[in-house]
């Protein structure tokens, strides 16, 4: 029994960590496509090709269920994958829906009609590809009415995190928050719509100020996955071993991952 977790690089480890804490008995196979990160500046076709290739690798590793712990892939590729690519008996889920269910005060899987919610002015921080897909606004419109969303494409942040340059990442976070605030001076909620950004959550919160509620995906995705597996226990696949796979340099990726999660993580070549 294993569940696959995919990201373009290291950001999905924030989701993996939360899932491993919430579901300690479920083996998890992580695939980070660090050789091809960042995805956020790629075309939708390119993101689709890379995401399907990585997802297939996770199916081959014994996972029947794969979580795209990458907003960019969830925004640019997931719907197309679900409509025409995912094989019979397999499932691929994204990370937008749990986040939006939390933002709109819903139970997991509640598909009732859209309604008014507390958050009225929402700042979305995400990669350029996620912002231009407008997938967040589309999913939100299914669940809430009267919410004003201002999106900020945070160029450079994922590259800086992948390179381990946290000083640059912090400076970029500040400048992206400033740019957002020029468009929306008083957001009441902010969504970190990229799984790399929880690694900079304190910096986002500090730049936004204490009155802005920051929504970050890792724990929300873990809770929603736990609920899903209670409803669909057969989706825990046949794999029995946890693993960390990368398309990048395993030594370099392992050392960054160990630094981020503050525990030893050893990646193997995918």
Active site residues: 70, 194
Is 71 a binder of ligand DGL (CB under 6 A)?
yes
Is 70 a binder of ligand DGL (CB under 6 A)?
yes
8 Å CB contact between 78 and 92: yes
Site mask, ligand DGL, residues 21-60, x = CB under 6 A?
Answer: ----------------xxxx--------------------
How many residues touch ligand DGL under the rule CB under 6 A: the total is: 17
Is 195 a binder of ligand DGL (CB under 6 A)?
yes
Q: Smallest gap, in angstroms, from Cβ of residue 264 to ligand DGL?
A: 22
Tell me which residue has tokens 């724990």: 219
Is 97 a binder of ligand DGL (CB under 6 A)?
no
Give the whole-angstrom CA distance, residue 146 versus residue 256. Answer: 41
Number of Cβ atoms within 10 Å of the Cβ of 182: 9
Is 256 a binder of ligand DGL (CB under 6 A)?
no
Number of Cβ atoms within 10 Å of the Cβ of 121: 16
- CA distances 268 to 38, 56, 245, 246, Å, are 20, 17, 5, 6
**Which of 9/98 has CB closer to ligand DGL?**
9
8 Å CB contact between 7 and 70: yes
- Residues found near ligand DGL in the complex (CB under 6 A): 7-9, 11, 37-40, 70-72, 127, 130, 158, 194-196
């Amino acid at each position: 029994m294993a569940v696959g977790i995919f990201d373009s690089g290291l950001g999905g480890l924030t989701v993996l960590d939360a899932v491993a804490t919430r579901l300690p008995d479920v083996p998890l196979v992580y695939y980070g496509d660090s050789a091809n990160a960042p995805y956020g500046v790629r075309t939708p076709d390119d993101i689709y090709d890379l995401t399907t290739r990585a997802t297939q690798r996770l199916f081959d590793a014994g996972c029947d269920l794969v979580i795209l712990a990458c907003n960019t892939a969830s925004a640019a590729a997931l719907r197309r994958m679900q409509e025409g690519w995912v094989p019979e008996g397999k499932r691929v889920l994204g990370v937008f829906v749990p986040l939006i269910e939390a933002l709109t005060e819903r139970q997991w899987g509640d598909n009732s009609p859209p309604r008014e919610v507390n958050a009225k002015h929402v700042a979305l921080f995400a990669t350029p590809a996620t912002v231009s897909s407008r997938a967040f606004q589309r999913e939100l419109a299914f669940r809430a009415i009267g919410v004003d969303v201002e999106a900020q494409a945070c160029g450079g942040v994922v590259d800086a995190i992948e390179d381990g340059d946290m000083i640059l990442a912090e400076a970029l976070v500040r400048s992206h928050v400033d740019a957002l605030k020029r468009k929306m001076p008083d957001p009441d909620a902010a969504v970190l719509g990229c799984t790399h950004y929880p690694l900079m959550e304190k910096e986002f919160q500090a730049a936004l100020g204490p009155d802005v509620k920051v929504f970050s995906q890792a724990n929300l995705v873990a809770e929603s996955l736990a609920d899903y597996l209670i409803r669909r226990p057969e989706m825990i696949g046949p794999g029995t071993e946890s693993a960390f796979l990368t398309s990048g340099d395993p030594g370099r990726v392992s050392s960054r991952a160990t630094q981020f999660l503050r525990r030893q993580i050893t990646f193997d070549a995918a």
